[in-house]
Chains A and B, each alone.
Chain A
Amino acid sequence: MSKLTRSRWFWAWDDEKEEKWLTEMANNGWHLKNVSFPGRYTFEQDAPRNMSYRLDFFTDRKRREDYLQIFADAGWEHVAQYGSWQYFRKEAGPGEEPEIFTDNESKVKKYQRVIAILVPLTPIWIIMINRLNRRPEIFFQAVTFIGFLIMLFYIYTMLMMLRRVSRLKRK
């Protein structure tokens, strides 16, 4: 069975773009097998199928079994996990597009779960950068700069997620 590995970057608020891409790959006979750091997607070749790929963000390890059972009973296969992102797929009949979230409120809650993970990390970064910045050595200055870039990345992600949530709420 031939395999294919692709590297691609998707922002957390672009999950629908990612779902569409995975669906297109399956339409062309490339079925997702695994996702690993940093955004490496492994596919296996098989007959082209019309699949619906959907992503969820789930962090509650203690209830993972109950969570996956409900998806399995509803006909969704848990294909891969990347961090807290869960990849599901379900075969779609003609003209069908199965969804794991069937109302806006639950879609909003998914993005709020991502934001809830990012929010407490921001003050940690700020404190760390502040401490490191006091050291004059070039090494610490370099680390501070990298830390600063990562913090900007977090803040940008949070703002874009909030924008996504407010757009969904307006629908």
Chain B
Amino acid sequence: MGNNINKYLPLTESTAYILLALNEPLHGYGVMQKVKVISENTVNIGPGTLYGAFSSLEEQGMIVKAGETDRRKMYVVTEKGRQTLDEHVRRLEILVKNRPSRGTS
């Protein structure tokens, strides 16, 4: 399983945030808005980038369709997507742990 996931890593910042946002079913615009909020305005996803990410994530089995509202398809993260995101976050945590501390004494 581990190797299976490693080929997708590291995720781009946008992809990581899209997976994070899709822990609940959302449509495209919902994802764009949520990412803006949860990233504290550090990540802004354009529609071209979002559409491309939806297509490849669906193809890779990391997200699936979860119904429709007002003719807009909603997606939600799958178990595979969640595992990939977890592994991505674990790597980032290792990075953070290794960050040299500055003037804390």
Contacts and interface: CB of A to CB of B under 8 A. Distances in A.
Nearest to B73: A66
B34 to A, nearest CB: 13
Interface of B: 12-14, 27-29, 32, 44-55, 71-73
- Interface SS majority for chain A: helix
A132 interface: no
Interface of A: 54, 56, 63, 65-67, 69-71, 73-74, 76, 98-103, 105-106, 109-110
15 contacts: A69-B72, A70-B28, A70-B47, A70-B50, A71-B47, A71-B51, A74-B28, A74-B32, A76-B47, A102-B44, A102-B49, A103-B12, A106-B46, A106-B53, A110-B52
Contact of B12 (A54, A56, A69, A105): A105
Given A100-B46, A106-B46, 17 more contacts: A65-B71, A69-B71, A70-B29, A70-B47, A70-B54, A71-B47, A73-B28, A74-B28, A74-B29, A74-B32, A74-B46, A102-B14, A103-B14, A103-B49, A106-B14, A106-B49, A106-B53
